[in-house]
Amino acid sequence: MLLKSEINSDIGCVRVNNEDMILFGGEFFRDRSAKQIFELSDTARFAAVVADGMGGHDGGEFASEIALRCFDDFILALPEGLDEDEVASSLKRWTEETHRLILRKSHELPGCEGMGSTFCGLLFYGEMVFALNIGDSRLYRFRGGILKQLTTDHSIRQLTGGLSQDSNQIYNSLGAGESAFIDIKNLGGQLLEEDLYLICSDGLSDMLPDEETERILTENPSAEALITAAKNAGGKDNVSVILLKIIS
């Protein structure tokens, strides 16, 4: 599978630090960007994930980094030859273990009480591709000029159908609350040539309606264009974007 990618994690216009982080193919991104064209073999293990940290003075930065470094270790240790159910079970165990780790660190590290992190992205494992989500970062697919959200926000706004004013409040994250769960969806067989996948923190989705994001991806499909539009709309939060295009 041949893929083209753009990665960008930006502090935005208001925040004094960037609590977002991106994991892409074993590399970590915060306050930097990259573009790549690469090929994945049928036996590859590869992750493209956005984590949006929250809580405490420095807690958000720590939480998102802990989540992604733990996931990178998880991928490296994941055995070959697992079936779909075995991968899903491993992901659920990882979620529980990482949640407990961040929760413990929130009590140990000064200024980090209540820290947590979202987690959203794609895991390529052999011929399987999994959409993963914890929290309200988002995964979209842009196909044939139509933008479709593939994940469900774990937010009060989603639960109430938009009736709640607590638009930024989430009920599921790594490290915050008593427990966490992960949504897992196998996209294997659903990926088509020319598909474009967008993974983003809510610094993008809260600033731009889906219709505007769809327009940008139609006219100028780049991570930089999306982040610039979010910042022009106020840039109230950190903005992280992964664009992943299926070339062949």
pLDDT digits (tens, 9 = 90+) for 38-74: 999 988 999 999 999 998 667 999 999 999 999 999 9
Q: Check if the beta carbon of residue 204 is closer than 8 Å to that of residue 222.
A: no
- Residue 247 token pair: 């070339």
SS3 96: helix
Q: Which of 193, 194, 198, 196 is nearest to 208 (CA)?
A: 198
Residue with tokens 């989705």: 205
For the segment 15-28, what is each residue's pLDDT rounded down to a tens digit? 999 999 999 999 99
Q: Check if the beta carbon of residue 90 is closer than 8 Å to that of residue 78.
A: yes
- Give the model's pLDDT for residue 111: 85
Residue 186: strand pairing partners: 130
Q: Kindly report the length of the chain.
A: 248
Residue 218 has pLDDT above 80, yes or no: yes
- For 186, counting Cβ atoms within 10 Å of its Cβ (0-12 exposed, 13-18 middle, 19+ buried), the class is middle
Which numeric CATH code is attached to 2-246? 3.60.40.10
Enter the DSSP assignment of 122.
E
What is the arithmetic mean of pLDDT over 98-121? 95
For the segment 112-134, what is each residue's pLDDT rounded down to a tens digit? 989 999 999 999 999 999 999 99
Measured distance CA(145)–CA(152) in Å, rounded:
21
Measured distance CA(10)–CA(199) in Å, rounded:
14
- For 82, counting Cβ atoms within 10 Å of its Cβ (0-12 exposed, 13-18 middle, 19+ buried), the class is middle
For the segment 148-161, what is each residue's pLDDT rounded down to a tens digit? 999 999 988 777 77
- Residue 21 token pair: 């982080």
Q: What are phi and psi of 240, to 5 degrees?
A: -125, 135
- Give the model's pLDDT for residue 159: 78
With a pLDDT cut of 90, the percent of the chain lying above it is: 87
- Give the model's pLDDT for residue 110: 87
Residues with Cβ within 8 Å of 215's Cβ and at least 6 positions away in sequence, in order, are none
